[in-house]
Structure formats: structure tokens, C-alpha cells
Structure 1
């Protein structure tokens, strides 16, 4: 949201977040229309079949940040979350 407020370009934000420009466009539109609440997460839709204890553990592990799990930077990506879930719970999901 700070980046939107500073007027950064969509491409710059997407590159910095290692995400897609279309996603950033949606976020910016939601931010313009509804402010900060427009871009807040609605939470997990049920965490892909994990039980409540596994979901809680995954949330704790994600809070530790990628560096604590062996990655060279502090950016969570869908592929990294998938890998972490495989390591922790021996499950596999499509990214």
C-alpha cells in the first residue's frame, strides 16, 4: 500500500514482490476503491485440507520467514510454500 501511495509503477511493484502485474493491478484497483481494507487478505480458505494443528504449525513456520527454512532471501513465493508444506506434512499441491 505504501508503494501505491508513492505512485510506484505496477511493473516495479510486481518485480519487487516477484508477482504478476495483473495481481498488482487488482490490488491497486481495490486500494483505490476501498482503501487499506480493500487489499487485506480474507484469510485462508481452509488451508488445502490440512487439519487445524497442521494449519497452525504452517502459520507459525511461515512467520519465521524463508531464511529460517534455508532460502537465501526473505520472500515467500507459492513455490516455496509448496516446498515447505511438502517438507512438513509430506503433501503436494499444485502451485
Structure 2
């Protein structure tokens, strides 16, 4: 668990060194959806996954989110929002997995738009990670995974209840929400 540093200092001519006790004892992955709907407040839906602290594979045989984890997140978001989902995804290999592609093809309540390669500036969720790194995660050396998880949940909850921050992440991309024409 190396700490993300926001700012530090050292004497002129000396490279700053941040010492961290212990080594990594686990891995935590987080997936998030920024949800926008014209006329309603923006929402943030996220799911953390805790991996084997001994460095082994997870229940899905991966050390990160599997396509089934994303599928479960999409189902939960659809139930929570009660509306169709329009996803704007980057080119993460899991987003392009055959199982997830087949799942999306079978459900008419999901529409997917792929972002071009190397375009994190068009992904609103990247703004969420930036906000998180600059607030609750900045300049902190976590002593154990539980402290990291508490800080992560606290930071995401703080963003979740400030819809203007989530709106700002969309505005920073240059993308915008549009109303779908109603069938007549």
C-alpha cells in the first residue's frame, strides 16, 4: 500500500523519501458508475472487491474485477436507478470480455458506447478517482487494509452525497447529457 502523495518537501538538493511501514497485505479494487439523468441529481454507484491478502487469485481466478463483477454492478445499478443504462466505457480488457459483451447483447436496457483508446479525459469516472486521490487518500500511509477501506468508503461517500462534484466530472469531459426523444 504505497501512499498517493499530494505534496511533500525536502531540503534543496535532496530527494524527498516517504517511508512506509510493512508491505502490501492485500489488494482492493473499486469499480464505479457516474449516473446522470436530465432533471435529476447525479449519482455515484460503486463496488469494492477485496482480494486474497496472500497474493493469490480471487474467486474468479483474477486479481481484479472480472466481467461477472461488472455484470453484477450493472444489474444492481439498473435495479437501484429503475431506468435503462447508457454506458460510456473505456477500453479496459474486462469491459471488452466476451461474457460481458454477450450479457449486454441479451439485455435491451443496456446501451454501450466505447471510448477511443487512450482517452481518460473523456471518462467521468477518472474525475472521481482524481477527487478521491486528492482528498481522503492524499498524504496518507495506511497502516492496514482496514484503514484503507474505511478511508476509501468515507471518501467515496463524501463524493456520493455531493452531486455537484459528480456533475463537475461530466462537465470536465466536455460530454453532456441529452434527453431522448419520446415515442409518439
State the TM-score, normalizing by the size of structure 2: 0.21
- Radius of gyration: which is bigger? 2
Q: Which has the higher contact order (CA 8 A, sep 6+)?
A: 2
Greater helix content: 1
**TM superposition score normalised by structure 1:** 0.32
Structure (1 or 2) with the greater strand fraction: 2
